[in-house]
């Protein structure tokens, strides 16, 4: 019975996030193309969002668990450290949007539909999936530091790309409005949030593993 619920849960999450991604790509690329940008440039711009990257990872993981759990990538996503790190990243997606970005944007129609799935529905559903359905094994505390590599590379990428394209996906690392000193401070506190959440999820993992 539990396995059936798990399969249904993964299918629901995968379908929902894939649907939101397809809709987001469709309406966003149409918008970018109307502004005279190339299709390739529109795709790169969309994939530059941390939100899009991590929701795509969630959808891909759920799909592989359902359709190809024994494949190379299916086994990789099933690793305890990978799933726990995804919980950290998708939690940041949720928290930053709810605490910082939601008040900066007013979305309507399909944009709002996708926004709510990416930021308000997908994150807690994935965390709940991890809590309820994933067997816990002991994770070393040092993993929390290792998990900082992805967001650190992401910050450097956004700043480098922004210096060339003059486009920054998030206000707190917007080089057109903020000084690099302020951006450095913002990135420092963001990485501190990643580290704190990493330690929190490792703690939860260890407690669950003991039980």
Q: Tens digit of pLDDT for each residue in 30-42?
A: 777 777 677 777 7
Decide: helix, strand or coil at residue 179: coil
Residue 105's pLDDT is 73
Q: Using CA atoms, how far apart are residues 75 and 54, in angstroms rounded to an integer?
A: 18
Tell me if 190 sits within 8 A of 117, measured CB to CB.
no
Q: What is the mean pLDDT of the chain?
A: 91
99-106 long-range CB contacts below 8 Å, 24 or more apart? 100/171, 100/172, 101/170, 101/171, 104/171
CA 1 to chain centre: 30
Mean pLDDT value of segment 40-60: 90
pLDDT in tens, 98-123: 988 888 777 778 888 999 999 999 99
Q: State the residue for tokens 């999936």.
A: 129
Residue 106's pLDDT is 72
Decide: helix, strand or coil at residue 170: coil
pTM, full prediction: 0.92
Mean pLDDT value of segment 170-198: 92
């Amino acid at each position: 019975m539990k396995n059936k619920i798990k399969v249904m849960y993964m299918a629901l999450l995968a379908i929902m996030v894939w649907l939101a991604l397809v809709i987001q790509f469709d309406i966003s690329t149409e918008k970018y193309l109307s502004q005279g940008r190339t299709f390739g440039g529109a795709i790169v711009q969309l994939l530059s969002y941390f939100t899009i990257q991590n929701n795509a990872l969630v959808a891909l993981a759920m799909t592989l668990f359902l359709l190809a759990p024994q494949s190379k990538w299916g086994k990789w996503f099933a690793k305890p450290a990978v799933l726990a790190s995804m919980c950290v990243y998708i939690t940041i997606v949720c928290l930053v949007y709810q605490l910082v970005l939601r008040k900066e944007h007013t979305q309507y129609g399909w944009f709002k539909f996708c926004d709510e799935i990416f930021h308000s529905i997908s994150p807690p559903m994935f965390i709940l999936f991890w809590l309820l359905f994933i067997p816990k094994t002991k994770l070393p505390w040092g993993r929390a530091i290792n998990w900082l590599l992805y967001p650190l590379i992401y910050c450097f990428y956004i700043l480098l790309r922004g210096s060339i394209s003059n486009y920054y996906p998030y206000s707190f690392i917007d080089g057109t409005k903020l000084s690099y000193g302020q951006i450095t401070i913002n990135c420092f506190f963001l990485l501190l949030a990643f580290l704190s959440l990493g330690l929190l999820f490792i703690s939860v993992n260890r407690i669950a593993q003991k039980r």
